Amino acid sequence: MNRYLKYGLIGFASLVLLFFALLAVIAFTVNPNDYKPLIVQLVKDKKQRTLTLEGDIKLALFPKLGANLGRISISEHNGTMEFASMNSARLYVSWLPLLNKELVVDHVTVDGVRANLVRYPDGSTNFDDLLTKEEESRQVKFDIDGVKVSNAAVSFDDQQGGRKFALSEFNLKGGRLADATPTSIDLSFALQGDKPALNVQATLKSGLFFELEKKHYALRDMDLTLKGEAAGISNLALALKGSVDATPADRMLALDGLKLALTGRHKAGDLDVKLDAPKLQLARDRLTSSSIALDATLKQAQGDIHAVLAIPAMEASGQAFKAGNVQLDLKGKHKGNAIEGRLAGALSGNLQHQQFDLAQLKASARVTDPKLPGGAMNISLTGDAHADLEQQRVRLNFDSRLDDSNIKARLGMDNFAAPAYSFDVAIDRIDVDRYLPPKPAKSAEPETPLDLSALKKLNARGSLRIGTLKFSSIKSSNVRLDVQAADARVTVNPLSANLYQGTMNGSISVNAAATPQFSVRQRLSNISIGPLLRDAIAKDMIEGRGSVTLDVATQGATVSAMKKTLSGGAALNLADGAIKGIDIAGTLRKAKAGLGTLKGEKTQAANQLEKTDFSELKASFAIRDGIAHNSDFSAKSPLLRLGGAGDIDIGANSMDYLAMATVVGSLEGQGGMELAALKGITVPVRVSGPFDALKYTLDFNALAGEVVKQKVEEKKEELKARVQEGLKEQLKGLFGR
C-alpha cells in the first residue's frame, strides 16, 4: 500500500473516531432542555410572542440529527391568547448533506397541530409578523424521506369578509418529498364554513411532482372525493380523477383525462352531473383541446331535466381561438308538460383579452302543455352573442319567433359583480294570456306576500315596444314601456298605448322596500269605458266614452293591503253612456203609477239588463286609506239630472252612495205623460253593497212627499189664479164695466 495513502486512511479514520467521540460527549453532557428559557426569550425578543415548551426536548445526534418535541404552543402577537399549538413533532435529518446546505430528512411526524387565523376588518392578519423576512438567505434544498401529519386543525375568522372556515381532521401521509422527484400523497380532511354554507369530508390520493425553482407543480393520477354539503347541495358526492400539470409563471396548464362525477340534492331537485375532458393544454399563447362533454340531469318530484353540452376539439394559436359548432341539447318534463330544445353556434375568442363570441347562433324549442292553445308552444331564434370578461360585458342580439309573434331584441349586461342590464325589445304582436296559468279560484288561505326581492338589486334600463298586446284580457296596441331600475326602485315612464278607441299615457313606479310602495299616474283619453271595465275587471257597471285620470299611491306586501292603503285622486268625464244595473226613469214611472199604494223604501238588486242613460257624467274622487270619497257627482240626460255624494270602499270591494235624481222632462218611450207629472221632483237613490251584489234603494216616502208638495204648490197656484180672477170680476162690477 502506498505510504501516503496509508497515512491518509489512518488520518481519516482518526477524524471519524474523533467526530463520533465528540457526538458521544455532546449527547451525554448537553441537555437541550437547559436551553428552553433561552429559546423562549429569543422568540419573545424577535416576535413578541410567548412560546411555551411543555414537554421534554429529546435530542438525537447519531446516526442522524433530530429532535423529538413535546407539546408546544405560541401566543398571539403581544398577547397571551393561544395562536397555535401542536401535541408533538419529530424531525430527523442526515448530517453530511447539511454541509452543502441540503436538508435530507429521514422523516417528519407531526401530531395535533392547532392554529387560529384571523383577518381583521382592515385586511391585516394575526400572523403578518410571522411572514416578515428580516434577512435574505440562500435557498436550502430539502429531501424528506417521508412525512406524516395527523389530527391537525386550523380555523380562519375572516372579519373583513364576514365569514368563518374551519379545517379539521387533517391527516397527511407522503412518500419521499424531494425536488424533481416523483412521489405520492394520501390526504384527508374536513372543512366547514358559513358563507357559503360548507361542510365536507375530503380525501385525495395522487402522485405528486414539483420543481421549486421552476415553480412547476403536478398532480398525477389524481383521485379526489368530496362528501357532505357545499354550494347549496346536500348529500354531495363528488369524484374527480385525472392529472393536472401547471407552471403558472410561464402560463402553462395541462389537464389530462379529467373526469368529474357529481351527485347531490339541491333545493331545485336531485343533481347528477358528469364532465369528461380528455385533454386540454394551455401553453402561453397556444391552446389545444379534445372534445369536451358535459351531461347533467336534474330530477324533481314532478319531472326531470336532462342537458347535454358538446364542445368540439379546438385549437388556438396566438391570442385567438375557434371551437367550431358548440351544441346544447335539452329535454325535460314537469307535471305532464315537456320541453325539448337545441342551442348551437360557432364559438371563437381571444384568450389574452378574454373575449368570446358565439356567432351563427341558432336555437329552437318546443314546449308541450295541454293548457296551451294547440297543446304546444314553438320557439325559434337566430342571432349572435359576445362576452368580454376583461371589461365584464355581455351582449346578445337575436330575432325570434314565438308561435305567431315576431320578436327582435338587443340585450346587454355590464359588471358581473353588480350587474347592470340593458334591453331594447320590439314585438309585433303577442297574446300573453295564452301563456299564463288560469287565475286561481278565491281561497280562504292567507294571501301570499309579493316577492319583490329580485328588484332590490336590479339595475336595468331599456325599452319594450309591442304592436298589439293582450294581457289580463285587456287589448291594446302601439304599446311602449321605457323602464329604469336602480336602488330598489323601478320606474316605467312612459307607459303608453292605444286601447278601446282611445289612448293611455302615464307612468308607474315601484319601490321594493321592506314594505313595497307603488304609485300610478295615468290619463286615459277618449276611452270607451264599458269594454275596458268588462275586460279588465269583468264588471259591466257603466258605459260611455271620455277621459279617466288617475294619480294614486299605495303600499303593502299583498294586494289586499295595497287596496286598504290606496291614496290619491281620480276623475271621470264621460259622455253618451249609461249607468248599468238600474233604470231610474222606468222605476219612477212604475212608482208614479202606484203612488197611492207604495210607501217607505224599495230596494232592488242590480239588474244588468236595466240602465240609466246619460249624455254627460262627471265625478272626481279623493282617495284616502282605500276609500274613495266623491261629493261632486253629476250626470245629465234629457229626462233626468243626477247629483250625489258617497264613498267607494276599495279595500272591501263595496260602496255606499246616495244619488239625487231629479226629473226635468219627458220623452216618448221613456215615461211619457206619467213622468211628465213628476217633473221637478227629486228622489233619493242609494247604491250600496259589495261590487258583486250592488243594491239600489229608492225612497218612496220622499217621492210621495215631493208629489204632495208639488200638488200643494199646484193648488196654491190654482187658488191664487181664482182669487185674482174673482178680484177682477168684483172690480168690473164696482166700476160698472
356 has pLDDT over 70: yes
Q: Which of 74, 72, 40 is nearest to 56 (CA)?
A: 72
Cβ neighbours of residue 63 closer than 8 Å, sequence gap 6 or more: none
pLDDT at 38: 78
Cβ neighbours of residue 78 closer than 8 Å, sequence gap 6 or more: 48, 49
pLDDT at 670: 45
Q: Which of 282, 292, 287 is nearest to 313 (CA)?
A: 292
pLDDT at 605: 62
Q: Read off the C-alpha cell for 191.
A: 372543512
pLDDT at 340: 92
pLDDT at 128: 82
Answer yes or no: is 641 within a domain. yes
pLDDT at 5: 45
Answer yes or no: is 377 within a domain. no
pLDDT confidence tier of residue 22, bands split at 50, 70 and 90 = very low
The answer to whether 661 touches 588, Cβ cutoff 8 Å, is yes
Q: Strand, helix or coil at 676?
A: helix
pLDDT confidence tier of residue 344, bands split at 50, 70 and 90 = very high
Q: Read off the C-alpha cell for 166.
A: 374551519
pLDDT at 425: 96
Q: Strand, helix or coil at 620?
A: strand
Do 312 and 229 reside in the same domain of the chain? Answer: no
Neighbours of 416 (CB within 10 A): 10
pLDDT confidence tier of residue 19, bands split at 50, 70 and 90 = very low
pLDDT confidence tier of residue 63, bands split at 50, 70 and 90 = low
Answer yes or no: is 70 within a domain. yes
Do 233 and 292 reside in the same domain of the chain? Answer: no
Q: Strand, helix or coil at 341?
A: strand
Q: Which of 272-276, 351-355, 539-543, 637-641 has the lowest mean pLDDT?
A: 351-355
The answer to whether 201 touches 224, Cβ cutoff 8 Å, is no
| Mean pLDDT value of segment 80-99 | 74
| Mean pLDDT value of segment 80-102 | 72
pLDDT confidence tier of residue 397, bands split at 50, 70 and 90 = very high
Its domain, for residue 295, covers: 280-319
Q: Read off the C-alpha cell for 476.
A: 291594446
28 has pLDDT over 60: no
The answer to whether 439 touches 472, Cβ cutoff 8 Å, is no
Query: Where does a domain end: 319, 335, 350?
Result: 319
Q: Which of 336, 334, 267, 330 is nearest to 302 (CA)?
A: 334
**Residue in the block written with cell 330598489:** 488
671 has pLDDT over 50: no
Do 161 and 233 reside in the same domain of the chain? Answer: yes
Task: State which amino acid sits at residue 691.
Answer: F
pLDDT at 25: 45
Answer yes or no: is 194 within a domain. yes
Instruction: State pLDDT tens for residues 316-332.
Output: 776 777 777 889 999 99
8 has pLDDT over 50: no
pLDDT at 665: 63
- The more confident residue out of 445 and 722 is 445
pLDDT confidence tier of residue 370, bands split at 50, 70 and 90 = confident
9 has pLDDT over 50: no
pLDDT at 100: 60
Cα gap 403→378, rounded to integer Å: 5
The answer to whether 407 touches 399, Cβ cutoff 8 Å, is yes
Do 117 and 211 reside in the same domain of the chain? Answer: yes
pLDDT at 88: 83
Q: Read off the C-alpha cell for 148.
A: 406524516
Q: Read off φ and ψ for residue 249, nearest 5 degrees.
A: -60, -30
The number of distinct structural domains making up the chain is: 3
pLDDT confidence tier of residue 85, bands split at 50, 70 and 90 = confident
Cα gap 737→735, rounded to integer Å: 6
Do 644 and 552 reside in the same domain of the chain? Answer: yes
Q: Which of 84-93, 368-377, 579-588, 712-721 has the lowest mean pLDDT?
A: 712-721
| Mean pLDDT value of segment 217-241 | 92
Answer yes or no: is 32 within a domain. no
pLDDT at 720: 56
224 has pLDDT over 90: yes
Do 163 and 300 reside in the same domain of the chain? Answer: no
pLDDT confidence tier of residue 444, bands split at 50, 70 and 90 = low
Do 164 and 302 reside in the same domain of the chain? Answer: no
| Mean pLDDT value of segment 192-215 | 89
| Mean pLDDT value of segment 391-411 | 93
- The more confident residue out of 70 and 400 is 400
Residue-level length of the chain: 737
577 has pLDDT over 80: yes
Strands 460-471 and 420-431: parallel
Do 153 and 300 reside in the same domain of the chain? Answer: no
The answer to whether 626 touches 620, Cβ cutoff 8 Å, is no
Q: Read off the C-alpha cell for 597.
A: 199604494
The answer to whether 520 touches 511, Cβ cutoff 8 Å, is no
Cβ neighbours of residue 423 closer than 8 Å, sequence gap 6 or more: 409, 410, 411, 412, 460, 462, 463, 464
Residue spans of beta strands (DSSP E) within 267-392: 269-283, 286-289, 292-300, 303-311, 314-317, 320-334, 337-350, 355-368, 376-388
Task: State which amino acid sits at residue 60.
Answer: A
Answer yes or no: is 428 within a domain. no
Q: What is the percentage of the chain residues whose pLDDT exceeds 70? A: 78
Do 214 and 294 reside in the same domain of the chain? Answer: no
Q: Is 538 exposed, middle or buried (0-12, 13-18, 19+ CB in 10 A)?
A: exposed
Strands 65-69 and 88-93: antiparallel
Cis peptide before 196 (omega within 30 of 0): yes
pLDDT at 453: 86
Answer yes or no: is 350 within a domain. no
- The more confident residue out of 451 and 602 is 451
Answer yes or no: is 561 within a domain. yes
pLDDT confidence tier of residue 30, bands split at 50, 70 and 90 = low
The answer to whether 484 touches 491, Cβ cutoff 8 Å, is yes
- The more confident residue out of 228 and 71 is 228
pLDDT confidence tier of residue 199, bands split at 50, 70 and 90 = very high
Instruction: State pLDDT tens for residues 126-182.
Output: 888 876 554 444 455 566 778 888 998 989 999 988 889 999 999 999 888 888 889
Instruction: State pLDDT tens for residues 466-523.
Output: 999 999 889 999 999 999 999 999 999 999 999 999 999 999 999 988 889 999 999 9
Do 213 and 90 reside in the same domain of the chain? Answer: yes
pLDDT at 638: 81
What is the rounded average pLDDT for all residues in the chain?
81
Do 308 and 181 reside in the same domain of the chain? Answer: no
pLDDT at 283: 79
| Mean pLDDT value of segment 207-229 | 91
Do 188 and 284 reside in the same domain of the chain? Answer: no
First to last CA, the chain: 195
pLDDT at 313: 85
